[in-house]
Amino acid sequence: MVEHGINATQAIVTLDVALPGIIWGWMITLNMWAKSIGTGVILVGAFLLYRHKKEEMPNLRWMMPLIAFIALNVFLLFTLTDLHHPYRMVNIFLHPHWTSAITVGAWMASLFTGLITVMMLIGGFDAYPDFRKNCGIAKSIRGISPFYEKIFPFVVFLAIPVTLYTAIIMAESSARELWQAPAEVMQMMWAAFMAGSSALILISNKWSAEARKDLALVLAIATFFSFMMYMGEYFFSFKSSEAEATLAFVHAGGAYNTEFWFGMVLGFIIPFFIAVSSMKSDNKTLLRFAAILALVGLYMAKDVWLKIPQMLNLS
């Protein structure tokens, strides 16, 4: 009998109701991952434009907002799909509750996506001047072409809080103590740099080697610091008893242990070394491989970090 094997001070739950398991699942992981790409390409793109001439990265002006647009729409789609009442999303705009990071984030992300859409249209029509040459809408969009450069600094500035607000949602999720750490804010930032540089690497085939070297540098720095932060959080941090209990379960080979380490090796360690080597000798294929690995590994790491604190019974 199990009762004979336990300490007299220990307690066993002998009757309880069924409890909810993982409430925020893969859709939220995908949501965060896609948002990292959406804001990351803007942040890394701005860095590249600061460092290099536009001619060195001929397709950046329209591909950057296009990637951001696709990623942000994936993010918004899964935000909506995860709601049990998707049409009531409108309540966030009709009845906003400003203490909620979900509300603030929804407003900022909507504004950000709107501006990205404008940039994408301007960039696209400018890149292909013969496309819909006589169309009135295309003409008027081409007419506001300088607007792109005017709003770009504001979009870059806005990308920062849009990247970070998910960390505030996690901080407000006070039942999940693993997320109650300032490290989450920086983890979101590194994720954006990782995802942004990876996504841009995939379209950098015709760019100058110097620009690609900068992308490799950003990827190497982001994977290194993000990995270090995960290791610090995973092994060395002094956390609350609930967070410790969550991590102890995973340490002991519990659920998501394998996914976590796969994510760390695939998404952080291997891409780091490939990126460092690409800074010395330009190897487009290898760098693209690193970018894909980083995106896959980032998804896995985010997935584990999202789910593990939800396995803890709260009451």
Partner 1 sequence: MKLGFLVDLNLCMGCKGCEVACKVENEVPLGSWRLRVKYIDIGTFPDTSRSFTPLRCNHCESAPCERICPVSALHYLENGIVNIDSARCIGCAGCMMACPYGAIYMDPETNTADKCTYCAHRVESGMMPACVVICPVQANIFGDIDDDNSHISRYIMEHQGAVQVRKPEKHTSPKHFYVGGGNQTLNPLAQQRIEGYSLFNNITHLKHIGNPHEGVIDRFLEPFKGEEKLDNRSFIDFDNNAHESYEEEGGH
**56, 143, 145 from 125: Cα distances, Å:** 20, 10, 9
Nearer to partner 1, 104 or 294 (CB): 104
What is the per-residue burial (b if ≥16 Cβ within 10 Å, else e) of 278-289? bbeeeeeeebbe
- Tell me the closest approach of the beta carbon of residue 29 to partner 1, in angstroms: 10
- Tell me the closest approach of the beta carbon of residue 255 to partner 1, in angstroms: 4
- Tell me the closest approach of the beta carbon of residue 118 to partner 1, in angstroms: 26
Give the C-alpha separation, 198 to 303, whole Å: 18
**For 164, what's the count of Cα atoms within 13 Å in the CB-facing half-sphere?**
11
**249, 265, 294 from 40: Cα distances, Å:** 32, 21, 13
Nearer to partner 1, 4 or 150 (CB): 4
Give the C-alpha separation, 156 to 42, whole Å: 6
- Which among 184, 214, 179 is positioned nearest to 49, based on CA atoms? 214
Give the C-alpha separation, 177 to 243, whole Å: 5
- Tell me the closest approach of the beta carbon of residue 17 to partner 1, in angstroms: 5
Residues that bind partner 1 (CB under 8 A): 1-4, 6-27, 81-89, 91-92, 95-97, 99-103, 106, 169, 172-176, 240-242, 245, 254-256, 307, 310-315
- Tell me the closest approach of the beta carbon of residue 188 to partner 1, in angstroms: 17
Nearer to partner 1, 96 or 143 (CB): 96
Nearer to partner 1, 55 or 252 (CB): 252
- Tell me the closest approach of the beta carbon of residue 246 to partner 1, in angstroms: 10
List all residues 6 or more positions away from 232 whose beta carbon is below 8 Å from its beta carbon.
183
Nearer to partner 1, 212 or 302 (CB): 302
What is the per-residue burial (b if ≥16 Cβ within 10 Å, else e) of 191-228? bbbbbbbbbbbebbeebbeebbbbbbbbbbbbbbbbbe
Nearer to partner 1, 102 or 229 (CB): 102
Nearer to partner 1, 96 or 129 (CB): 96
Cβ count within 10 A of residue 74 = 17
- Tell me the closest approach of the beta carbon of residue 83 to partner 1, in angstroms: 5
